[in-house]
Amino acid sequence: MSQPVLEVDHLRKTYGDFVAVDDLTFRVQSGEIFGLLGPNGAGKTTTIRMIMDIFIPDAGTVSVLGATPRQARLRVGYLPEERGLYRDLKVKETLVYLAQLKGMDKDAATRSAEAWLDRVGLADWADKRVKDLSRGMQQKAQFASAVMHEPDLLILDEPFQGLDPVNVELVKTLMRELQAEGRTIVLSAHQMNLVEEMCDRILLINRGEGVLYGELAAIKRDYAPNAVRISGEEDVLTQLTRLEGVVDAEQNRDVLILRLGQTSPQAILAQIVELGLPIRSFEVESIPLNDIFVNVVSGVHPDGSEEGAEA
Ligand code: ATP
């Protein structure tokens, strides 16, 4: 397997007595979209700032593209949580300046700025001042500034915040295009539905510590309830509540959720077929990432028990 693009080992950062990041270890693989998640104040931005060489860790190491954060600086793109381009400068002028700071020569920076302004729908605004753009437009310009020097690793801190649905789609499309070009993306976002759509693997941080880490699909499988959702005629569904292995049933007109004990969804389906009962749809229940996030952060296990309740 190729070397991870980002290797974070036993990272720690304190502000005075307060431990903001505590013994954090994770990897980001080449070409993936990796979700860095956590509640407000969990330590995501602090972690990103150490990856970006803005903060020095108190302990632990960060390796970016096989080098130190400082050495890798020009190969990384960063959309920071706190937005702000120079308000009095013109949009294109600002992008060209920022791309030059990332090592591009002026001609290449100008070409890239024009192409990216076009791509994010701001070509007509290139010579306007930043302060004349709406907040969402400024954010798109800042997205362009993060990617225009063609970084190998892109770190996006809340890229969807404040964008309308059309621009959310645009940013998603751009992220997928960048991934298809082989770039690696770290996405920090609070919209769990978008994280589910975009991310291959995630790390959930809570109070500075990693509490959930790995492939998103596997995490969702681990947390999924053993239950099935069936739709059909109301009276047929009522009969299904008596199937063998059902421990609890919840019927809402033509939709039925059966919670299962030791039985599998396949065994339930087999019983329905055996009985010859007509149904419209049958699906294994899944759990939204949003629920996993809330449960893990509030210390509730997938089975509903509270963490440490027996202690
Ligand atoms: P959010 O989702 O709200 O952006 P976050 O996960 O990015 O949160 P951080 O900004 O990393 O969280 O903050 C982690 C903790 O460290 C918070 O409790 C915050 O108050 C604290 N903190 C962050 N920066 C500083 C600082 N410069 N001085 C003191 N404490 C800080």
Q: Burial, 72: exposed, middle or buried (Cβ in 10 Å; 0-12, 13-18, 19+)? A: buried
**pLDDT by residue (tens digit) across 155-172?**
999 999 989 999 999 999
Kindly give the distance from the C-alpha atom of residue 39 to the centroid of ligand 1, in angstroms, as a whole number: 11
- Domain residue extents for the chain: 6-221, 225-284
**pLDDT by residue (tens digit) across 7-32?**
999 999 999 999 999 999 999 999 99
Q: What is the DSSP string of the chain?
A: -PPPSEEEEEEEEEETTEEEEEEEEEEE-TT-EEEEE-STTSSHHHHHHHHTTSS--SEEEEEETTB-HHHHGGGEEEE-SS----TTSBHHHHHHHHHHHTT--HHHHHHHHHHHHHHTT-GGGTTSBGGGS-HHHHHHHHHHHHHTT--SEEEEESTTTT--HHHHHHHHHHHHHHHHTT-EEEEE-S-HHHHHHH-SEEEEEETTEEEEEEEHHHHHHHH--SEEEEES-HHHHHHHTTSTTEEEEEEETTEEEEEESS--HHHHHHHHHHHT---SEEEE----HHHHHHHHHTTB-TTSPBTTTT-
CATH architecture of 6-221: 3-Layer(aba) Sandwich (3.40)
CATH topology identical between 6-221 and 225-284: no
User: Is there a contact between 146 and 156 (Cβ–Cβ < 8 Å)?
Assistant: yes
Mutational pocket test of ligand 1: of 37, 45, 209, the residue with most ligand atoms within 8 Å of the beta carbon: 45
Task: Look up the pTM and report it.
Answer: 0.88
What's the CATH superfamily of 225-284? YebC, transcriptional regulation domain (3.30.70.980)
Pocket of ligand 1 (CB under 6 A): 15, 18, 20, 38, 40-46, 81
**pLDDT by residue (tens digit) across 260-288?**
998 999 999 999 999 999 999 999 999 99
In the predicted structure, residue 107 carries a pLDDT above the cut 80 = yes
Q: Whose CA is nearest to atom 23 of ligand 1?
A: 46
Per-residue pLDDT band for 84 (boundaries 50, 70, 90) equals: confident
